[in-house]
Structure 1
Amino acid sequence: MQAVESGAAPTKPAWRGGFGRLWTAAVVSRFGDALRTAALPLLAVTLTSDPFLIALVTACGYVPWLLFGLLGGALADRVDQRRAMWAVDTVRAALVAAFAVAVGTGHASLPLLMALAFTLTTLGTLFDNAATALLPSLVPSGALGSANARVMTGQQIAGSFLAAPLVPVLLAVSVAAPYGVDAASYVLAAALVASLRPAAPERAPRKPGSTLRAETAEGLRTLWADRTLRGLCAATTVCNIGMGALIATLVLDITGWLGAGQSGYATTVTAYGAGSAVGGLLAKPLARRCGRIGSVLLAGAVQTGCLVAIGSVRELWVTVAAMALFGVLGMVWNVNLATLVQERAPEAMLGRVSAAFRTLSVAGAPLGAVLGGAAAASWGLNTPALLASGLFVAAVAALIPARAA
């Protein structure tokens, strides 16, 4: 196990050097991604009014984790993580640029949206696992919590305060503009990551004849053997079923059930991002007071109440306020979860353990997206939020044994 935070170790990452460039790359990339993810649902509703088909677009953005997530983690432990990240971003830039051309020339279609979501996430399985494994080589172990909070907070500020309000402006210029800017953000992020010079991780020589399959299985066993990470993984999986249902149908809830239109949807997304930015500031103080697991437990309990409000009160201001608070606690959850994985996983296996955690937990999201679309079509556009609230109750219950570990 890696050493946990101690009083003698630095508790804040230094901005100069590698961490500052990695932070900038993450924030720039998130800015572009936020433009794309906010614009895609609005593009999807112009192509179909079927809630189930719209939900399938979201589901396609999660399925690759089930197919390739474990492989991505094993590769991240084998290859130069820095090179893997900039290479992936270069490819993603080319794909999104091509998609922008297709949209601009009137060739957008639901199958194309699904294919783009699937391909970008497939590449992301390697990128995300490599990024998780790379961060501990750029900051002291005692500063991991602060580093994760700063990266995630910066990403939320860029995505919510800068990108989300800009989407309507870019769409007024051209329907393809958000995707063109996203492609440019990938190029800049790739250049920043390529300039990093991280310390090489300590890796034991691989056993003769070792295979990716065997190394992947080792990561799964390591995750299962840690009671805390096992409980967190189970809880996050259940939460992600609910999140998949909510995210896949949120645009329908806002524009249909509430009748708030595109401006209401943009306001809600912005409120969620603003709350997430605040949550990044609160994650470390809450961890000091409640412990990392206690903070996650508190976050899940409060988020349950937010989901009930979203699904039962037909007022835009209630949904906006609930989504803002939901974002605060979501960031608290994510920062402490990421830090626990980095602290508790062996350094040489961080990519595989992270991949096992992500793959198992993300598995719930495509199922949730499909369930959310079916619930919205059968029982009403507000029901996915209520479905998610019930799942969050189950997730909070799953966290209790992990806290006792």
Structure 2
Amino acid sequence: MTHTDKAPRTADRATGAAGPPAWRGGFGRLWTAAAVSRLGDALRGTALPLLAYSLTDSPLLISLVTVCGFLPWLLFGLLGGAVADRMDRRRAMWTVDMARGLLMAGFALAVATGRAGIGLLLALAFALTTLQTLFDNAATALLPALVPQESLTTANARLLTGQEVAHRFLGGPLAPALIALGAAFPFLADALTYLLAAGLVASLRTPPPARPPAAAGRILRRDLTEGVRELWRDRVLRAFCLSVALANTGMGALIATLVMVVKDGLGAGNTGYAVLTTGYGIGTVLGGLCAARVIAVAGGPFRAALLTAVLQTLLLVGFGTVSATGAAAVLLGLFGFAGTVATVLEATVVQQRAPAALLGRISGAFRTMSLGTAPLGGLLGGAAATAYGPGSPALLAAGLLGLAALALLPARPPVRQMPDSAPTGSGQIPHTAP
């Protein structure tokens, strides 16, 4: 299905209700590629913190692995969005996955030969995310070319659900078995999944996006600023972006120190770490399955986003104060449920409100401004854990999630306007004052 600038049905914007996307026409292959790639991410995500923990006992150095995994969004996120609007998005995605596959294969070799130090881990995290800035912006812009606008909420939910199933229920159990075979095996498997995903994406057949070609003499700097300007002029996108930025600061603090929370705070080993991540995974899968219905029951995107932010705040307070692994796993599972609903909302709001010709740039600006705060969170989390103990990063994250809920208030729809995120008939972003 070709991309269109026409406004989607208002029912989808108001309630999240929509027909399911067809598996044919490319969405099935994109879903498979996303699930396969996420399987590899799960293997690397489980092995990398444990490898970092074995190389250093410094909370700050361990947190820097997460910081380097987010910092490229701050440096290159806008550039990735601009490039995604200038080139074939399908080609951008499979080329990036090929590069990441080769990079991971080289890292696996370094681990196998005992040459992987903490410095190489930092460089790897930085390089992978640098490539991801182009991949994710291209993927966000590609999805509306594969499914109708009214199915975007369901399509995003299915993509996230498939990724989490592969991550938690395939990658989670498989990671310890591969680690037992040797420290390099999870990273080698990750390289293979990248290469397989690249082949699936390369097989997609999509028409070029319906956007005007770049004017003669158009400079890249103008593309970069245009995405930021259009994002900031939209009341709803601006509020969502600020909210996600605050939330991701908290998530950076939590993710960067989670291995220390499990091992030092809860006194659990690798098994405890697997229990917590599995609990989180169950929650995220259920959240993906229920996202559209949650949005509908909540009464629309704004209310659903506010509800999830408040719920996540309360859950993090509990997570930062419990001392039992089982209770922590339940709280983290509920946190994952709410987080997946929020992620579906964020992706769909950007895809539906941004014009097709600007979707890559607006997506890049959104991710740069929202994910660019995570490195700060990682540093704050490492500092908090060093000064106040392993439970403090979760409480810090709770405070930031509370601020994220407040940041959503400017997106509240006027009483006279329903649904809250309906676009203008031309498909352009409505520039509504807060």
Query: Which TM-score applies when normalising by structure 2?
Result: 0.92
Q: CA RMSD in A?
A: 1.3
Which residue pairs with 2:431 in the alignment? none
Which residue pairs with 2:40 in the alignment? 32
Aligned counterparts, 1:282-321, within 5 A: 282-289=290-297, 290-321=299-330
Query: Would the aligned equivalents of 1:10 and 1:140 in 2 still touch at CA under 8 Å?
Result: no
- Structure 1 residues not aligned, in runs of 5+: none
Partner residue of 2:210 out of 191, 202, 215: 202
Query: Would the aligned equivalents of 2:283 and 2:336 in 1 still touch at CA under 8 Å?
Result: yes
Which residue pairs with 2:410 in the alignment? 401
Which residue pairs with 1:380 in the alignment? 389
Aligned counterparts, 1:182-331, within 5 A: 182-289=190-297, 290-331=299-340
Which residue pairs with 1:177 in the alignment? 185
* Per-residue deviation, 1:33: 0.7
Q: Secondary structure at the match of 1:182?
A: helix
Which residue pairs with 2:7 in the alignment? 3
Tell me whether 286-295 or 355-364 shows the greater mean CA deviation.
286-295
Query: Would the aligned equivalents of 1:2 and 1:347 in 2 still touch at CA under 8 Å?
Result: no
Deviations 1:183-206 (A, max 9, x none): 000010000000001122111132
Deviations 1:80-132 (A, max 9, x none): 00111101100100000000011111111000000000001001100000000
Closer/same/farther in 2, CA of residues 114 and 260 from structure 1, 3 Å limit:
same
Query: Which TM-score applies when normalising by structure 1?
Result: 0.98
Q: Secondary structure at the match of 1:61?
A: helix
Letter in 1 for 2:97: D
Number of equivalences: 405
Query: Would the aligned equivalents of 1:2 and 1:345 in 2 still touch at CA under 8 Å?
Result: no
Letter in 1 for 2:274: A
Which residue pairs with 1:340 in the alignment? 349
Determine the C-alpha separation between the residues in 2 that align with 1:10 and 1:400: 26
Which residue pairs with 2:399 in the alignment? 390
Query: Would the aligned equivalents of 2:306 and 2:405 in 1 still touch at CA under 8 Å?
Result: yes
Determine the C-alpha separation between the residues in 2 that align with 1:29 and 1:162: 12
Which residue pairs with 1:61 in the alignment? 69
Deviations 1:136-165 (A, max 9, x none): 000011111110000000000100011012
Determine the C-alpha separation between the residues in 2 that align with 1:352 and 1:236: 17
Which residue pairs with 1:365 in the alignment? 374
Determine the C-alpha separation between the residues in 2 that align with 1:153 and 1:376: 32
* Per-residue deviation, 1:6: 4.8
More helix by share: 1
Deviations 1:212-257 (A, max 9, x none): 1101111111101110000000000000110000000011001111
Which residue pairs with 1:163 in the alignment? 171
* Per-residue deviation, 1:10: 6.6
Which residue pairs with 2:113 in the alignment? 105
Q: Secondary structure at the match of 1:340?
A: helix
Deviations 1:260-308 (A, max 9, x none): 1111011101111110000011110122222012111111111111100
Which residue pairs with 2:361 in the alignment? 352
Which residue pairs with 1:70 in the alignment? 78
Percent sequence identity over matched residues?
Answer: 56
Q: Secondary structure at the match of 2:412?
A: helix
Query: Would the aligned equivalents of 1:309 and 1:318 in 2 still touch at CA under 8 Å?
Result: no
* Per-residue deviation, 1:339: 0.4
Letter in 1 for 2:410: P
Letter in 2 for 1:180: L
Determine the C-alpha separation between the residues in 1 that align with 2:32 and 2:371: 26
Determine the C-alpha separation between the residues in 1 that align with 2:169 and 2:401: 27
Determine the C-alpha separation between the residues in 1 that align with 2:269 and 2:213: 57
Partner residue of 2:132 out of 120, 124, 128: 124
Query: Would the aligned equivalents of 1:2 and 1:344 in 2 still touch at CA under 8 Å?
Result: no
Q: Secondary structure at the match of 1:202?
A: coil
